[in-house]
């Protein structure tokens, strides 16, 4: 009997400690997550409420997640996917102290959110003095690290992802504080395109095309000549279009 229980315990231990390769063959590739996040639409959608490290068998997209200690941490707006827990309003890009929102025993690290307009997160920027609260919303007024500028081209497309989503966004109608990152022209220069010079071609002359040969037609301006005849000597005979003949003798016209 004792041997039987030992065999059962050994079998359970073996199943629990099976290699990821065996688990992947049965359930698919496992992906590590930490903190709450949206559930893939293929898996039913909604929100996963597990706060600690865990795994799923669907991938995390690169725009809404950041990798921290081999875990995918959601840095998007959870309200867009049905989150009804605590939420905090932000406006514009800002840093995220990921070690403050998920505890995985790793060194502190800063990632960035690249959502331009008003949005929510399920966490506050605790311990970060470079935020100002205006109108119940957080505005980042600090100096971002060079990593923020370098990574922006890869992550700014998140705005195109959220634009068509229909959900209740925070309404922020206050003036941003001085130094707000969204008003920094040195970080987001305005590109001015120079207009190309306009070349006006001369109006082409009319052409007649015959048999595949271009022939220029020049129409001269008609010239009107007025001649004044002075009769000297003999007269001139004039025909009146067949109605009769006439003869001019001297200064008198005589009809036949």
Residue pLDDT, tens place only, 161-188: 999 999 999 999 999 999 999 988 777 6
92-151 per-position pLDDT tens digit: 999 999 999 998 889 999 999 999 999 999 999 987 889 999 999 999 999 999 999 999
Per-residue confidence (pLDDT) for residue 87, from 0 to 100: 97
Q: What is the average per-residue pLDDT within 31-41?
A: 97
Per-residue confidence (pLDDT) for residue 194, from 0 to 100: 45
Q: How would you list the strands of the sheet with 65-68, edge to edge?
A: 53-56, 31-34, 71-74, 65-68
Contact 177, 135 (CB under 8 A): no
188-231 per-position pLDDT tens digit: 655 444 455 555 556 656 554 444 445 454 555 554 444 444 44
Q: Which residues, in sequence order, are bridge partners of residue 121?
A: 88
Q: Which residues, in sequence order, are bridge partners of residue 253?
A: 248
pLDDT at 252 over 80: no
Per-residue confidence (pLDDT) for residue 197, from 0 to 100: 53
* Measured distance CA(15)–CA(77) in Å, rounded: 37
Q: What residues contact residue 181 under an 8 Å CB cut-off, 6+ apart?
A: 92, 93, 94, 139, 140, 141, 142, 144, 187
Per-residue confidence (pLDDT) for residue 185, from 0 to 100: 75
Confidence band of 246 (pLDDT split at 50, 70, 90) = very low
pLDDT at 8 over 90: no
Token pair for 114: 């690249």
pLDDT at 61 over 80: yes
DSSP state of 24: H
Per-residue confidence (pLDDT) for residue 18, from 0 to 100: 40
* Other Cβ atoms closer than 10 A to 195: 6
């Amino acid at each position: 009997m004792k041997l039987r229980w030992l065999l059962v315990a050994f079998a359970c231990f073996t199943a629990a400690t099976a290699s990821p390769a065996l688990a992947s063959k049965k359930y698919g590739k496992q992906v590590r997550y930490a903190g709450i996040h949206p559930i893939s639409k293929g898996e039913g959608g909604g929100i996963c409420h597990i706060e600690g490290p865990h795994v799923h068998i669907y991938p995390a997209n690169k725009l809404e997640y950041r990798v921290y200690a081999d875990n995918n941490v959601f840095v998007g707006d959870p309200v867009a996917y049905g989150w009804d827990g605590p939420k905090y309003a932000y406006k514009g890009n800002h840093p995220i102290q990921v070690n403050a929102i998920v505890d995985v025993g790793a060194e502190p690290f800063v990632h960035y959110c690249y959502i331009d307009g008003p949005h929510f997160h399920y966490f506050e920027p605790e311990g970060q003095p470079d935020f100002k609260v205006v109108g119940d919303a957080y505005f980042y007024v600090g100096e971002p690290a060079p990593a923020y500028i370098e990574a922006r081209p890869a992550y700014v497309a998140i705005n195109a992802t959220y634009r068509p989503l229909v959900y209740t966004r925070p309404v922020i109608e206050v003036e941003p504080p001085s130094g707000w990152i969204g008003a920094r022209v040195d970080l987001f220069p305005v590109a001015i395109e120079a207009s190309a010079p306009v070349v006006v071609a001369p109006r082409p002359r009319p052409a007649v095309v015959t048999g595949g040969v271009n022939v220029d037609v020049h129409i001269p301006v008609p010239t009107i000549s007025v001649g004044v005849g002075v009769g000297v000597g003999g007269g001139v005979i004039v025909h009146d279009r067949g109605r009769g003949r006439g003869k001019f003798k001297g200064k008198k016209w005589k009809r036949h």
